[in-house]
Amino acid sequence: MAGNGVQGFQNSSGFSGGDTTDSLDNDRSHDPASSGIFSTDLRRHDDLKEMLDSSDDRKKLEAMKRIVGLVAKGKDASPLFPAVVKNVVCKNLEVKKLVYVYLTRYAEEQQDVALLSIATFQRSMKDPNQLIRASALRVLSSIRIPVIVPIMMLVIKDGVADMSPYVRKAAAHAIPKLYSVDPEQKEELVSFLEKLLADKTTLVIGSAIQAFEELCPERIDLIHKNYRKLCSLLADVEEWGQVIIINMLTRYARTQFVDPNQSEGNDQSAEPVKEKAFYSSNEDSDSDSDEGPSKPVYMMDPDHRLLLKNSKPLLNSRNSAVIMAVVQLYYHCAPKSEVGLVARAMIRLLKSHKEIQYVVLSNIATMALNKKGVFEPYIKSFYINANDALHIKLLKLEILTSLASEHNVSVMIREFQQYVLSTESDFSSASIQAIGKIASGIGDITDACLGGLITLLSNKNETVVGESIVVIKKLLQMKSSGHKDIIVHLAHMLDKITVARAKGAILWLIGEYCDKVPKIAPDVLRKAAKVFIQEDDLVKLQTLNLAAKLCITNPKQTQLLCQYVFNLAKYDQSYDIRDRARLLRALILPGDNAGALAKHAKKIFLADKPAPVVQSRFKERDQYQLSSLSHTINNKAHGYNELPVWPEVPPPSSVRNVEVPKPSTSVLLKASKDTKTGKKEKGFYSETESEEESSSEEDSSEEEGSSSEEGTEDSGAEDSEEESEEDDSGEEDTQTKYKHKKEVTSSEEEEEESEEESSSEEESSEEESSSEEEVVPVKKPPKAKPVTKPTAKKETGNLLDLLDFEQTPSPVPNGAAVTHSAAPLQPMMADLTLSPTSPASSKVKSVAATFIPTEQHELLNRMTSGGLSTSYRFTRSPNFYSEKMTSVELTFTNQSDQPITNVKVGEKRLQAGMHLHEFLPIEKLEVGSTLTVTIGIDFNDTLQPAEFDLMTAERTYKVKVKAPVGELLTAVTMSENDFNSLKGKLGGMNETAATLDVEGAGISQLQSIITKVANLGQVPSSEEHTLLYAAHTLSTKCDVLLKVKHTDSNVTLSVNSEKIVIGSMLVKDLKTALTSHS
């Protein structure tokens, strides 16, 4: 039985017949029990080898699938290399593909065996299947042996010129591999790479740029002529190719363009600067000229703008690496005013995996230090979630600390107070540190933060207490005056504190400010000396410092205690403490052999210490390129290339101009004239003439393809002679005048075309072919011949001729009827309308406000401002500075006993997207006088207040103007049909409705209340007891529609708008107003 069992086991371990179900149990782990004396590695893959040696393609395919599966699982399948490489010659396409996949993986490890099949690989390069050719090229490039370098050069040369872009892509990948084997072939490889860079296929470009980065990143001249092509095709390249191209173009932009932020106020591009100069008055220009020579205005290079413009759509990519590549491009190469475009895309990435979150947050932390305003609108996105990992929490805390400002600090401190209560000690400690950073950065809240940190000293968590003491110590260094009570309170807590850092901080504070607590300091030293031996090294060092300082300031009470502490430290186990004690003894208790430094001991120990500078740990990461590995690890990684410095003078942009061979000017001009002349002349042919001459003109058109230009002119002259014989006299005069105008205009066009530099052979050939096709008349059904009126032609002839030459004629479909008459002029005449508005815009018309508010809102109280009383009201009138702004009338009244001078708007603290147009400064406001001015505020369709400073010669006041939702609208009207159509489009979530009980309110009273609440225009309504109103938001021109349905007992309100917040707030205000009047 035992023998049969062993024999059966041995039989089962081999391969018999064609059964493969129990052949390969190699997926199991190789433990001693499975590979003892009963099995051997020599027979592990016998079944697969027999299947590969079989003549049955199905068995070979099954074996290759299992082998590739082993490779995919990370198992070692290299012993099968000789058996697999023999199947390179297999005619089955599927088997051959899998063989090449395997060989690409193991060709570098089994180079000797792979060399035996090089001839087969070379033959595969001639295979009609592109996948086989590319696979053979990949395998050959994986055999990194210098002997086959000449063969590889020939194979890459063929691959670069291959018709398939897939093969050319494989050739681009092979170039860096060959360069790593033989760097001496660089020059020839660069020539291959130059051909690949000129490729217009998006599949190849990404791989070609990757090869460029590895082979010759310093050869910027190879990019010049391909720069604009790379920018235009950027959106169509594969995602990883986009990352490579954008990173390369970032370095290219830093070497070829100037810094867009090189001078102050250059955040905008050249277009706004031109507009401002164009619309500036003569007085402004005179004043500017008086000031002196103006600084040169920065003009962004068009190629620089092209790169930013074409990379912006990639912010919507699904690949996080592509988004981060665009982010670093904008951060390093874009004007400061445009960097904010990337914020929304980065915030969206925070919903990804935590690994992606870490990288994105690291980059945001760096950006927030220099460009705080970019992420301030999204500050709530950085609030801590309960399921966030610790490293994510710490990064968000760092970002929140960097974004803290006077406007949001109160909200942020309340948020941090919740974080302090976390059970995660590291996170709670980091939260306390964040509070300390904010308090040190914003001086106005330092006292409040100190009070909050002192309350944390009663916390049961020792870590929280210890960290609070450390932060209090830093804050007291910055503002120690008036905080004696805090130092005394900390001294009383010394016995209860167990955290070494906290104890050391208390001892340092008492020693530093011992003059403020002269009675407590000696007793603290006595307690510290009692437990000196059991303390941590950090506490011991601070005890030595305290003893030294007290011995200097109060030697009568503390000299003996100081000697005792020094003697204890003399025999301590730590050499740092022993050395410190030896140094301090020599300075404080010098004895007879006093050194020179002992005389200056007081200046050394009691000198004023500078306040600690709280700096973000991401400050130093700004030296690395954003979204790079070096930036993430805060260390220079292998292969990292620093960003080039902006050049002071940019290289000439002409290096990026691509010269395209142009056809001769005479051929182009003649083809253009023939096209336009032939098209116009056909309009004067009669139907019978077109039918009779169709055959003769077809012959002449065929001859045109092979004849010279003189022949074309002769045939054109013959056609004109036949027309003059058959047409009547009236038509002759009209045609003569028309041809005369054509000649005059074509001569002008010749001058324009001679100046064009970007015309190509393809465009000219298309124009010539279209001219040949248009000369051929198309047969039409019998139709009455329209007659062109001479008067109409006389009035519009010049303008119509100009339109004919400027607009490209549209191609005529085959078999379509062409009407050669005055009918084509009708659409042109329809466009020549004198109406200032288009038909689409005439549906909605702006109307004046029905109700002008008179209610005054207090802006500045005379009691708090020293007599300057200021109020404001909304005028609902168009703002002259910008149609997006709300006009606000300010009324200043001087109720003091002295004139108030120099009243003006100071610092503006506006939310992102908001703008304020200030009034001219008021030089003097007499006692008892009142003055009214108007400002414009663009609230950006939000309900956030506009905060700014109102300044006088003596004081500055912080004020804010908050607009009700009804003042963010401008009244419009439209037809009832347009109203209903637009309302139907703005349904669902865009609709807010409410019903309320209003008794005794008539239609006229409802109208009065509604127009008082909001600036709405009334729309005529055919329904009874129904009021319709319409408006646009001032900033974004979004539609706001209001429908009010009144019955005897209630009123139904329905507001439709894309701005959901505005719609809901408008309903709320209307409900409040209607309820209060009921």
What secondary structure does DSSP assign to 1014-1068, as a single string? S--EEE---STTEEEEEEEETTT--EEEEEEEE-SSEEEEEEEES-HHHHHHHHH
What pLDDT score was predicted for residue 319?
94
Confidence of residue 912 (pLDDT cuts 50, 70, 90): confident
- Rounded Cα distance between 925 and 890, Å, is 14
Which of 430-439, 646-655, 671-680, 894-903 has the least mean pLDDT?
Answer: 671-680
Question: Is residue 650's pLDDT more than 90?
Answer: no
What pLDDT score was predicted for residue 295?
52
Residue 519 or residue 842, greater confidence: 519
The sign of the torsion formed by the CA atoms of 882, 888, 889, 894 equals negative
Confidence of residue 382 (pLDDT cuts 50, 70, 90): very high
Helix (H, G, I), strand (E, B) or coil at 783: coil
Highest mean pLDDT among 68-82, 241-255, 515-529, 1021-1035: 241-255
Question: Is residue 169's pLDDT more than 60?
Answer: yes
What pLDDT score was predicted for residue 288?
45
Which of 976, 683, 648, 631 shows the shortest CA–CA distance to 824?
683
Residue 829 or residue 507, greater confidence: 507
Q: What is the crossing angle of helices 320-333 and 302-311, to 10°?
A: 150
What pLDDT score was predicted for residue 284?
45
What pLDDT score was predicted for residue 48?
87
Question: Is residue 736's pLDDT more than 90?
Answer: no
What is the rounded average pLDDT of the residues 501-513? Answer: 89
> What mean pLDDT is reported for the chain?
77
Residue at 874: amino acid letter: F
- Rounded Cα distance between 527 and 542, Å, is 13
What pLDDT score was predicted for residue 785?
43
**For 945-1004, how does the pLDDT look when each residue is reduced to its tens digit (9 = 90+)?**
999 999 998 888 999 999 999 999 999 999 999 999 888 888 777 788 888 887 767 788
- Rounded Cα distance between 473 and 756, Å, is 73
What pLDDT score was predicted for residue 1059?
85
What pLDDT score was predicted for residue 263?
63
Which of 609-618, 661-670, 808-817 has the least mean pLDDT?
Answer: 808-817
What pLDDT score was predicted for residue 258?
92
Highest mean pLDDT among 173-177, 458-462, 850-854, 1050-1054: 173-177
Which of 17, 10, 19 shows the shortest CA–CA distance to 39?
10
Contact 1010, 1053 (CB under 8 A): no
| Token pair belonging to 87 | 């199947």
What pLDDT score was predicted for residue 43?
60
Ordered DSSP codes for 939-993: -TT----EEEEEE-SS-EEEEEE---GGGGEEEEE--HHHHHHHHHHT-GGGEEE
What pLDDT score was predicted for residue 701?
40
Please name every residue paired with 1017 in a beta bridge, in sequence order, or none if there are none: 1030
Residue 305 or residue 819, greater confidence: 305
Residue 244 or residue 281, greater confidence: 244
What predicted TM-score, i.e. pTM, was given to this entire model? 0.56
Confidence of residue 37 (pLDDT cuts 50, 70, 90): very low
Contact 891, 875 (CB under 8 A): no
**For 2-22, how does the pLDDT look when each residue is reduced to its tens digit (9 = 90+)?**
444 434 434 433 333 444 344
Contact 661, 398 (CB under 8 A): no
Confidence of residue 457 (pLDDT cuts 50, 70, 90): confident
What is the rounded average pLDDT of the residues 728-754? Answer: 42
**For 76-91, how does the pLDDT look when each residue is reduced to its tens digit (9 = 90+)?**
888 888 888 888 888 8
Question: Is residue 739's pLDDT more than 80?
Answer: no
Which of 239-253, 256-270, 345-359 has the least mean pLDDT?
Answer: 256-270
Residue at 627: amino acid letter: S
What pLDDT score was predicted for residue 44?
67
What pLDDT score was predicted for residue 818?
36
What pLDDT score was predicted for residue 892?
92
Question: Is residue 394's pLDDT more than 80?
Answer: yes
Which of 106-115, 669-678, 775-784 has the least mean pLDDT?
Answer: 775-784
**For 840-875, how does the pLDDT look when each residue is reduced to its tens digit (9 = 90+)?**
344 788 888 888 988 899 998 887 787 899 999 999
Please name every residue paired with 891 in a beta bridge, in sequence order, or none if there are none: 871, 932
Give the number of other CB atoms < 10 A from CB of residue 657: 13
- Rounded Cα distance between 849 and 863, Å, is 35
Alpha helix segments (H runs only) across 225-319: 227-232, 239-256, 270-279, 282-291, 302-311
What pLDDT score was predicted for residue 476?
85
Question: Is residue 816's pLDDT more than 70?
Answer: no
What pLDDT score was predicted for residue 324?
95
Contact 307, 249 (CB under 8 A): yes
Alpha helix segments (H runs only) across 389-520: 390-403, 409-420, 425-441, 446-455, 462-478, 484-492, 500-512
Give the number of other CB atoms < 10 A from CB of residue 242: 26
What pLDDT score was predicted for residue 763?
42
Confidence of residue 310 (pLDDT cuts 50, 70, 90): very high
| Token pair belonging to 1009 | 């209340």
Confidence of residue 513 (pLDDT cuts 50, 70, 90): confident
Contact 266, 335 (CB under 8 A): yes
Over the range 419-457, which residues count as b (16 or more CB within 10 Å of their CB) and which as e?
bbebeeeebbbbbbbbbbbbbbeeeebbeebbebbbebb
Which of 816, 827, 824, 898 shows the shortest CA–CA distance to 865?
898
Indicate the helix (H) or strand (E) that contains 370.
helix 354-370
Which of 185-199, 619-633, 700-714 has the least mean pLDDT?
Answer: 700-714
What is the rounded average pLDDT of the residues 12-35? Answer: 41
Q: What is the crossing angle of helices 425-441 and 409-420, to 10°?
A: 160
Q: What angle do CA 763, 769, 775 make, to 5 degrees?
A: 135
**For 195-226, how does the pLDDT look when each residue is reduced to its tens digit (9 = 90+)?**
999 999 999 999 999 999 999 999 999 999 99
Contact 321, 329 (CB under 8 A): no
Question: Is residue 161's pLDDT more than 80?
Answer: yes
Question: Is residue 505's pLDDT more than 50?
Answer: yes
What pLDDT score was predicted for residue 485?
83
